[in-house]
Amino acid sequence: MKFALIDRVMELEPGRRIVAVKAVTLAEEYLAEHFPTFPVLPGVFMLECMTEAARWLVHASRNFMHSVVLLHSAKGVTYKSFVAPGQLLRVEVICRRLGEEGSDFSGAGFCGADEVVKGRFSLRHMTLASRSPTWAATDERIVDEARRRWSILYRGVSAVSGETVGSASGIG
């Protein structure tokens, strides 16, 4: 099962940083099994929110050059509190290194002013065609879908300032 956790990109500085949000709702199926009497966002999903935001930062900074951007390693990840349905998880990710085949980040997640998760992690970037030219068409489909999703996640946000434009503001 694939999870798309980020609901909205709030701020972007290509090559430097991204701020994104995840609204946690009771409608999410995994909450029924993760502490059924005390539903909370699993810690690994908090890390995945930071990873997903970093993935969008790589795509935006590299013009979707790589179809596949995956978590390579995570270090020093600490969890300080729970994120429950009805809460908004805001993740702030800073790019420490943006290379051709990989990148390094530090990130933190907040509910309001309270830090609930933080850590460092690395991503790997690649195309399927780099493994086998027969996969080039699949790369194109993956990138097309990523661009489509990005246009929804990033709608109404000015690139450097993070200001919301038009009536798209509402999460904040």
Q: Is residue 172 part of a domain?
A: no
Closest CA relative to residue 83, chosen from 1, 11, 10, 22: 22
Phi first, then psi, for residue 166 (nearest 5°) are 70, -155
Q: Is residue 13 part of a domain?
A: yes
- Cα–Cα dist 103/60, whole Å: 13
Exposed/middle/buried for 1, CB within 10 Å: 0-12, 13-18, 19+? exposed
Q: Does residue 163 register a pLDDT over 70?
A: no
Q: Is residue 25 part of a domain?
A: yes
Q: How is residue 45 annotated by DSSP?
A: H
- Percent of the chain whose pLDDT exceeds 90: 79
Q: Is residue 171 part of a domain?
A: no
Show the tokens assigned to 14: 């290509």
Task: Please tell me which residue in 34, 59, 72, 125 is annotated as part of the active site.
Answer: 34
- The stretch 96-115 carries a mean pLDDT of 98
Domain that holds residue 83: 8-125
Q: Is residue 87 part of a domain?
A: yes
- The stretch 98-121 carries a mean pLDDT of 98
Residue bearing the bigger pLDDT, 139 or 157? 139
User: How many folded domains does the chain comprise?
Assistant: 1
Is the distance from CB of 64 to CB of 146 less than 8 angstroms? yes
What is the pTM for the complete model shown? 0.88
Residue 164 has a pLDDT of 42
CB neighbourhood size of 51 (10 A):
26
Domain CATH for 52: 3.10.129.10
Q: Is residue 15 part of a domain?
A: yes
Show the tokens assigned to 101: 């085949």
Residue bearing the bigger pLDDT, 34 or 40? 40
Q: Is residue 158 part of a domain?
A: no
Q: Is residue 166 part of a domain?
A: no
Report the chain's mean pLDDT, rounded to a whole number. Answer: 90
Residue 156 has a pLDDT of 65
Q: Is residue 34 annotated as part of the catalytic site, yes or no?
A: yes
The one-letter code for the residue type at 123 is: L
- The stretch 150-155 carries a mean pLDDT of 93
Q: Does residue 100 register a pLDDT over 50?
A: yes
Q: Does residue 22 register a pLDDT over 80?
A: yes
- Cα–Cα dist 51/59, whole Å: 12
- Cα–Cα dist 7/20, whole Å: 8
